[in-house]
Homo-oligomer: A and B are copies of this chain.
Amino acid sequence: MKRERHPTLFDVARHAGVGTTTVSRVINGGSRVSPKTLEQVRRAIDELGFVPNLAARVLKGEQSKTIGLIVPSIADSFFASCAEAIQKVARSFGSLVVVTVTHNDPALEMENIQTLFRRADGLLIAPSDSNNPKLIGRLTRLSIPVVCFDRPLHDERIPAVLTDNYHSAKTATRHLLQHGYKRILCLGGEAAFHTMEERVRGYEAAMRDANRPTTIDISAHDPSSEEIAAMLARHLTGKAPPRAVFCLKNATTIHTYDALQRFGMHIPQQVALVGYDDFLLAATLRPSITVIQQPVEEIGRKAAKLLFERLAAKADHSSLLRAESHAKNVRLKSRLIVRASCGCREFNVDGLPVSQKLQGGALAATTEM
């Protein structure tokens, strides 16, 4: 941890016996430099272990080679996977990713934007509220490009990468209807999120098409395990108990599975279940859980690529205006992963039968320890 002074452009120039401009040209591609001096300078750079000082570059108006990522949480597997994909794209463009967390708190979110917009070349954000005018105002007024993902911002100027929440929720619901279930409960939380609204709309549309009454139970916040259990208990003991449950998000699905199991209700014989968002053990649980699977990595990748596209367009002053008007949202397709909880017969992801006996020998003895 010594206070070693890093070699500067000037040091390299002196060492190579040239001017600073030449060195600058070399580290920026080396065009308009004679092969001979190019070689000289390169050697000098190597020998001194010179690394350009980014702060000086940024001060000169260059890019910081950093993009900001603003998400509700990193610990959430969905956003973590997005982040990983984003990081990968950024790396391929020579950029770093700084991550900040909002917990869906608009104040924190605004603070993050404030911190980031002077330090990053662009922003990737999953906005807490698609309609918040303050947020929209701030984001549109930013001098760096912004791309939303997972959740849109209701403003023409800001592009977003989304999945087809409406259609896939409709597909999921229709699948349950095709099983013959008439009363299907739609369960979830965080009602205000755009994604949730869309999914509910999809559910409603499917039910309407089938002439079935809807039952929707969504709390404002993200319901805890206990809350889900209570909600379920209320519905199951009512006069028209649901024959199937469509869960609007990952955690809800898990809590529902958990509660039904505790209630001693058989899935899918007594209550069928379809969830939104795939999860690690969805195929391992018994019964395995049928879910809508979003292309998580693809969301992050697309969003990041879009951002770097706009960044390039910005550098290219001419195409800037064109990029501006291109603020179309990208919609990615989700898939229904049919497993057993919906009532389809049990099978593995690989198509193997569930009970796969050991070959070549008896099972381990259970009598002796």
Residue numbers in B under 8 Å from A181 (CB-CB): 369
Say what secondary structure dominates the interface of chain A: loop
Look across to chain B and name the residue whose beta carbon is closest to the beta carbon of A108.
Answer: B91
> A interface, how many residues as a size bin?
35 or more
Which residues of B are found within 8 Å of A97, using beta-carbon distances? Answer: 98-100
Contacts of A262 in B (CB 8 A): 348, 352, 354-356
Question: How many copies, total?
Answer: 2
Q: Which residues of B contact A280 (CB under 8 A)?
A: 254, 279-281
A29 to chain B, nearest CB (A): 19
Q: Given the interface contacts A73-B84, A99-B87, A99-B99, does A363 sit within 8 Å of B270 by beta carbon?
A: yes
Q: Are B1 and A118 in contact (CB under 8 A)?
A: no
User: A92 on the interface (CB 8 Å rule)?
Assistant: no
Cα A261 to Cα B287 in complex, Å, equals 12
Are B6 and A53 in touch, CB under 8 angstroms?
no
Q: Say yes or no: is A93 at the interface (Cβ < 8 Å to chain B).
A: no
> Which of the residues B55, B263, B271 comes within 8 Å of A357, measured between beta carbons?
B263
Q: How far is the CA of A286 from the CA of B285 in the complex (A)?
A: 8
Partner-B contacts on A (CB < 8 A): 1-4, 6, 51, 53-56, 58-59, 64, 66, 73-77, 80-81, 83-84, 87-88, 91, 96-101, 114-116, 118-119, 142-145, 180-183, 233, 236-238, 241-243, 254, 257-258, 261-266, 269-271, 279-281, 284-286, 314, 320, 324, 348, 352, 354-366, 368-369
Give me 15 other A-B pairs in contact (C-beta within 8 A), A1-B142, A88-B101, A270-B363 excluded: A1-B143, A53-B59, A74-B84, A96-B100, A182-B369, A183-B369, A237-B360, A241-B363, A241-B365, A242-B364, A243-B368, A254-B281, A264-B356, A269-B366, A285-B285
Q: List 7 A-B residue pairs with CB atoms under 8 Å apart, sorted by A's residue number.
A: A1-B324, A76-B80, A87-B101, A233-B358, A237-B362, A261-B284, A266-B366
